[in-house]
Structure 1
């Protein structure tokens, strides 16, 4: 794709659909935290609400049927967007990607001898599944990362010795931007696992074709893809996989029959068995125009534009140095765009060699209208590897604190000061520009030749 044509096309899109960014002087570099909505999405949704009478879908009255039609239209559009065969996959609506992960975690038939295998690079909503695995006697296995925060191949994926074992990984790290190979899906399935692909950080800027790679479960969150609506995500699940799940409870909307006298119940089939209560039907209706907006722009074009900008960002950060030539910026993860997305984690190192507290830099950036993010981004495994945090140190600090009072702040006070506990994150998206990157690097350049205050 022609670089200049792409730049002009996306800058035109920004002026047309996201003009508020420049009107308000905002530099938005937190797309992994949330996408931004286009003005046309909001206009389309407003028209839809004004032109329809929509009621609770669980009925056959006109308002209910109108809402049901919109929900099913969104379901079909999601399958189409991800090239998922409706004969093979179903869409379960959830509140977000975390809700999709929890649904599978609580219902997965872990038992003694099962394995829950995952990368150290995973969101806490994936890490949390280990609680269900532990409770049922399964063993949790973490696969280590290389210094570049890619999956280390020094430790092979252990084969699942029995059924009911689960392998989970992110298509793209929300910490480092590393794109883990989708070939892991087939590799793990061949080793006896069902596979859960966390695609929440991947699909906002990359196409995902489920006709080419077929994980058993996929989690997505729509506000991360196109900003609006919030509170709606989805679990895309293979039908044969979802039918092996065993829910620990039932609720309105998930059952065909319940008897109080006899204490029996019958679940509905497939997606309906996992959608508790009334769906967020007014917001689900906004998913279709959001997906249509991205499809019209073209996900291949979005991916290439973000790749080009990521290259510029990495070069700009590497070019920031103190007068003695020492680097101002310490980047965590790959230094180039090979198998990496537009999420870049970094810290600023002062002229004295110490690291500036990320929260202080984040706060100063906010004053300048720059939206960065600071912390460990709900991904402690990638952070512990990136910061080379000794496990013994973290455990010592945890045990030394009163129960219920441990946080990143307490950890920072307990461990040696040269070891960071968090970082800054700049993440690029659909209408990021070279000017955004220039403003960010100009801001970071103010720390050149400064020492960290005592």
Structure 2
């Protein structure tokens, strides 16, 4: 089961924390019920929204990017609006000491959500020692080996995991508060692979329906839909009301409800508690309604913030499947793996399949043969690597590595001791003119702490994941408070940008989904409009942001439902991303809105949000886009017509 505090204690913590701005993922029940928040809770929400605008230059519009208040002045106003932000200063200390690469590189990383396993400082060995490793690298290294195995068989019988994989699996399950007594876990290449594994194994012949709730186009969800349809599933998609993109409750409720006489399971309900594009939060009650009406539930937890799995709603609703993902180091190395959890009670109904996408997590010395342990040429070492990897089950190793040399450094005084921690190192690449790797060197430093060896009571290896440790030390309330303050300030600041000298007072930015809201997530979907009211292409905004060392992303909002009142607006907003044949077949998934997206991680600070705001404000200059387009042309880069 998913562990959490008891219902009474959790409810008390929620109400008390709300007054000091606690968890953003405790839902309003307005999606499914007519219940209203308690007086205290309603007052907290109302006060929060009012204070957001009252302290940040109230009744002010900014029409010139050169006249924006300084970051220092803005931060002073920010602290007045959100005094509880100062209670999260431990995050700033962690960022300064463990992730100083963010400051050194002057990089604002707003292009992906998720949780990193390792801190940046954890990956840097002591290069000043008398015997430093041959390469002082920048981020952690572990290997993933593909394995072609049936998911059901894997869940029932498992296989021999490396000590490293077992340790990482245990640490992740502890972090997510998921019990090994009730759930099995497999590693996947990514989120898409996890979704596809479920689609390949779910019994759609007897439980025919697949119902998804996503307000944006997702490669993972599209892959699941395509696989499910081929296996006979009837696919249904939730819709979202314009303009706030809330779930169309009436339609979703009708799709979830089953006929009174129907006893068998209706199918699979795929549900995120939060949109990773718009930041819209959804009620736990949709999961409850699905379960009560005979649906199996897949909870997509990839967009949830750190420690959101501690929310007490999840202790009452045990999803049949849960998907999440972890990357290596925030702001520098977003590669990692996906995690698929399957409730043990549901395994017997799964069908056999030729599942692909599962991986083993192994220490590097299990994959590579040390070049110092045996003689031979580089070509012989490469051949040894390819043979060993193929035996281990990697599908296409030649596409991953070229010309390998590997050295494993183990100090002589440690050879007879148990190794405590894999200080995982990164790659050093050298590329030729064609972009192909011609050199690949890795080193793995195995170290042990003399006083506190990293072994559990049973003698098993414990991997030190300081990224997860930091989140644990901060807790749900502090993290969600920080995210709530930053994202709502950013939204309020963007709304205050307005083009000068326009009759209709054209806003520079249009935000999709919730605006200033107490329980929204830290993701934001928006577009920039020029002084004529024409949209600046999101890909151009993204490229120009990259030139300012700000990483943004883009997405495609779809499944949007317009009432008759917005019919005219619908015609001007919707774009089509399909060919004519596909468009005629399914207009709903083809038509949508391309948007710029930004996501705040738990390490985000005020400077990150201010820099994004000041960058977007530059579009108030009517000549800015044209100048930058010509500059990109001069650099022989692809240009975007606007």
Checking the alignment, whether the CA contact within 8 Å between 1:229 and 1:287 is kept in structure 2 is no
User: Following the alignment from structure 2 to structure 1, what is the Cα–Cα distance between the partners of residues 189 and 310?
Assistant: 21
Task: Give the deviation of 1:190 after TM superposition.
Answer: 0.8
**Matching of residue 68 in structure 1 with residue 162 in structure 2:** yes
Task: Give the deviation of 1:400 after TM superposition.
Answer: 8.9
Matches within 5 A, 1:200-215: 200-204=302-306, 206-208=308-310, 210-215=314-319
Checking the alignment, whether the CA contact within 8 Å between 2:323 and 2:340 is kept in structure 1 is yes
Using a 3 Å threshold, how does the CA distance of structure 1 residues 191 and 127 change in structure 2: closer, same or farther?
farther
User: Following the alignment from structure 2 to structure 1, what is the Cα–Cα distance between the partners of residues 310 and 328?
Assistant: 15
Checking the alignment, whether the CA contact within 8 Å between 1:310 and 1:337 is kept in structure 2 is no
Q: State the Cα deviation string for residues 5-36 of structure 1 (Å, max 9, x = none).
A: 33422222221112111212212222328859
Checking the alignment, whether the CA contact within 8 Å between 1:321 and 1:328 is kept in structure 2 is yes
Matches within 5 A, 1:280-299: 288-299=465-476
Task: Give the deviation of 1:426 after TM superposition.
Answer: 1.3
Q: Which residue of 2 aligns with 1:29?
A: 110
Indicate the SS of the match to 2:91: helix
Q: Which residue of 2 aligns with 1:117?
A: 211
Q: Which residue of 1 aligns with 2:525?
A: 345
User: Following the alignment from structure 2 to structure 1, what is the Cα–Cα distance between the partners of residues 344 and 354?
Assistant: 20
Bigger shift: 125-134 or 65-74? 65-74
Q: Which residue of 2 aligns with 1:312?
A: 489
Q: State the Cα deviation string for residues 62-115 of structure 1 (Å, max 9, x = none).
A: xxx996333223222222222222221121111122221111111111016611
Checking the alignment, whether the CA contact within 8 Å between 2:269 and 2:297 is kept in structure 1 is yes
Indicate the SS of the match to 2:195: helix
Indicate the SS of the match to 2:271: strand
Using a 3 Å threshold, how does the CA distance of structure 1 residues 330 and 251 change in structure 2: closer, same or farther?
closer
Checking the alignment, whether the CA contact within 8 Å between 1:71 and 1:285 is kept in structure 2 is no
Using a 3 Å threshold, how does the CA distance of structure 1 residues 252 and 370 change in structure 2: closer, same or farther?
closer
User: Following the alignment from structure 2 to structure 1, what is the Cα–Cα distance between the partners of residues 579 and 356?
Assistant: 42
Task: Give the deviation of 1:346 after TM superposition.
Answer: 0.4
Q: Which residue of 1 aligns with 2:233?
A: 138
User: Following the alignment from structure 2 to structure 1, what is the Cα–Cα distance between the partners of residues 561 and 193?
Assistant: 23
Q: Which residue of 2 aligns with 1:167?
A: 269
User: Following the alignment from structure 2 to structure 1, what is the Cα–Cα distance between the partners of residues 520 and 215?
Assistant: 14
Indicate the SS of the match to 2:536: coil
Indicate the SS of the match to 1:364: helix
Bigger shift: 215-224 or 130-139? 130-139
**Matching of residue 450 in structure 1 with residue 622 in structure 2:** yes
Unaligned runs of 5+ in 2: 1-19, 21-82, 137-142, 148-158, 360-391, 396-421, 425-460, 584-588, 627-641
Q: Which residue of 2 aligns with 1:360?
A: 540
State the aligned residue count: 404
User: Following the alignment from structure 1 to structure 2, what is the Cα–Cα distance between the partners of residues 188 and 70?
Assistant: 37
Checking the alignment, whether the CA contact within 8 Å between 1:124 and 1:380 is kept in structure 2 is no
Checking the alignment, whether the CA contact within 8 Å between 1:17 and 1:39 is kept in structure 2 is yes
Q: Which residue of 2 aligns with 1:108?
A: 202
Q: Which residue of 2 aligns with 1:17?
A: 98
Q: Which residue of 2 aligns with 1:270?
A: none
Checking the alignment, whether the CA contact within 8 Å between 2:268 and 2:296 is kept in structure 1 is yes
Matches within 5 A, 1:27-426: 27-32=108-113, 38-43=119-124, 68-111=162-205, 114-121=208-215, 123-147=218-242, 148-155=244-251, 156=253, 157-160=255-258, 161=262, 162-163=264-265, 165-204=267-306, 206-208=308-310, 210-223=314-327, 230-249=335-354, 277=393, 288-323=465-500, 324=502, 325-376=505-556, 380-381=558-559, 388=570, 394=576, 397-399=579-581, 421-426=593-598
Checking the alignment, whether the CA contact within 8 Å between 1:73 and 1:288 is kept in structure 2 is no
Alignment TM-score, normalising by the size of structure 2? 0.55
User: Following the alignment from structure 1 to structure 2, what is the Cα–Cα distance between the partners of residues 183 and 55?
Assistant: 37
Alignment TM-score, normalising by the size of structure 1? 0.76
Using a 3 Å threshold, how does the CA distance of structure 1 residues 390 and 286 change in structure 2: closer, same or farther?
farther
Checking the alignment, whether the CA contact within 8 Å between 1:320 and 1:327 is kept in structure 2 is yes
Bigger shift: 82-91 or 192-201? 82-91
Q: State the Cα deviation string for residues 297-338 of structure 1 (Å, max 9, x = none).
A: 323322221111011111111111112432110001101233
Indicate the SS of the match to 1:231: strand
Q: Which residue of 1 aligns with 2:601?
A: 429
Q: State the Cα deviation string for residues 197-242 of structure 1 (Å, max 9, x = none).
A: 1111114473445433311111111018957673322111110123
Q: Which residue of 2 aligns with 1:269?
A: none
User: Following the alignment from structure 2 to structure 1, what is the Cα–Cα distance between the partners of residues 329 and 94?
Assistant: 16
Indicate the SS of the match to 1:154: helix
Task: Give the deviation of 1:371 after TM superposition.
Answer: 1.0
Checking the alignment, whether the CA contact within 8 Å between 1:177 and 1:333 is kept in structure 2 is yes
User: Following the alignment from structure 2 to structure 1, what is the Cα–Cα distance between the partners of residues 230 and 572?
Assistant: 27
Q: Find the structure with the greater CA-based Rg.
A: 2
User: Following the alignment from structure 1 to structure 2, what is the Cα–Cα distance between the partners of residues 165 and 352?
Assistant: 48
Unaligned runs of 5+ in 1: 59-64, 255-275, 402-407
Indicate the SS of the match to 2:246: coil
User: Following the alignment from structure 1 to structure 2, what is the Cα–Cα distance between the partners of residues 432 and 22?
Assistant: 11
Checking the alignment, whether the CA contact within 8 Å between 1:97 and 1:221 is kept in structure 2 is yes
Checking the alignment, whether the CA contact within 8 Å between 1:383 and 1:422 is kept in structure 2 is no
User: Following the alignment from structure 2 to structure 1, what is the Cα–Cα distance between the partners of residues 85 and 214?
Assistant: 38
User: Following the alignment from structure 2 to structure 1, what is the Cα–Cα distance between the partners of residues 497 and 357?
Assistant: 57
Using a 3 Å threshold, how does the CA distance of structure 1 residues 430 and 201 change in structure 2: closer, same or farther?
same
